[in-house]
Amino acid sequence: MGDKTTFDGSLGASLRKGRIERKLSLREMARTIGISPANLSAIELGKTRMTVDRLRAVAAALDLSMSAVMREAEKSNWEPPELAASASINFDKQQFEGEWRVFPPLDVDPILASAITCFLEVGYHGSTIRTIASGANISVPGLYHHYHNKQELLVAILDLTMQELFARLSSARSEGSTHVDRYCLMVEALALFHIHRRPLGLIGSSEMRYIEGSERTRVASLRTGLQRMMDNEVAGAVHDGEFATLHPADAARAISNMCVALSQWYSEAGPLTPNEIARQYARFAYDIMRANGWTESSSAEFV
């Protein structure tokens, strides 16, 4: 009995590519694997699913191994993300073009600046609208004219954070010519942000838990989208044989968290400049991703 596990249409593009490279017509290929041309066309267009048995038949017709077919599918599906998860946020991809390492003073309105200060000093729950209004030299009714409540202020701060992160990492990524270059540049940008924008980084790390309802889901999806933008380059580097870690997705998350933690401990009194630390972190990321084959039994090498 054949394996009934099915593969979705994401394999279709690679199968069509292999068929065309081998100068096989749709009709010839369909006849070889015992299906109708219409069915094969639907598979290639991603409109239908196929079983493992059928995938084996296609691979045999193309004189490819199953693993080769899967690798080709991954390669053909390669699309650097256009930040679909950021649809709910506006940012200019060219905003920091060539200048993503430059951090001018944060330009926000006085109310948001006061909220950032209050949230840092006493936390979201410890802050009051009255205190925030006082810090902005505005009346409480005046504050409510701009922001309906404290929750809206917190959401605005996190949106501001995500806008700048998406713009800076997109600009950094655009300078790379390979998956490795693009990933390491994004790590450098992420590290720099959490050094130069420590207040935003700290609020994002500690106060995100207080966002409620659909806004929490939306902001969480933005964070996921940003990580996926980085994961995409990691997966590409793995595919190209440049990264060899056994757990690239886990390593990518660990590296991102390492960068985020900079907002908690960085000090201007330290021996390294922000740029030196960021480049060092990019090198850490590269070394982690290049690692392979380490097991607990080989730990004696590190003693």
Residues 78 and 233 sit within 8 Å (Cβ to Cβ): no
Third-level CATH fold of 6-76: 434 Repressor (Amino-terminal Domain) (1.10.260)
Is pLDDT of 92 > 70? Answer: no
Is pLDDT of 287 > 80? Answer: yes
Question: pLDDT tens-digit profile of 120-177?
Answer: 999 999 999 999 999 999 999 999 999 999 999 999 999 999 999 999 999 999 999 9
- Quote the crossing angle between the two packed helices 198-207 and 179-196, to the nearest 10°: 90
How far apart CA 89 and CA 166 sit, in angstroms, is: 9
Residues 6+ positions from 105 with CB-CB distance below 8 Å: none
Question: pLDDT tens-digit profile of 32-55?
Answer: 878 887 777 777 766 666 666 677
Residues 72 and 211 sit within 8 Å (Cβ to Cβ): no
For the domain 84-302, what is the CATH code? Answer: 1.10.357.10
Among 16, 80, 5, 71, residue whose Cα is nearest residue 45: 16
In the chain, the DSSP E strands lie at: 6-7, 50-51
For the chain, the domains span 6-76, 84-302
Cα–Cα distances (Å) from 302 to 89, 254, 279, 293, 298, in that order, read 46, 21, 24, 14, 8
Asked whether this chain's domains 6-76 and 84-302 adopt the same fold, the reply is: no
**Mean predicted confidence (pLDDT) in 273-293:** 91
Is pLDDT of 80 > 50? Answer: no
Predicted confidence at residue 206, as pLDDT, reads 93
- DSSP structural state of residue 269: T
* Least confident range of 32-46, 71-85, 97-111, 208-222: 71-85
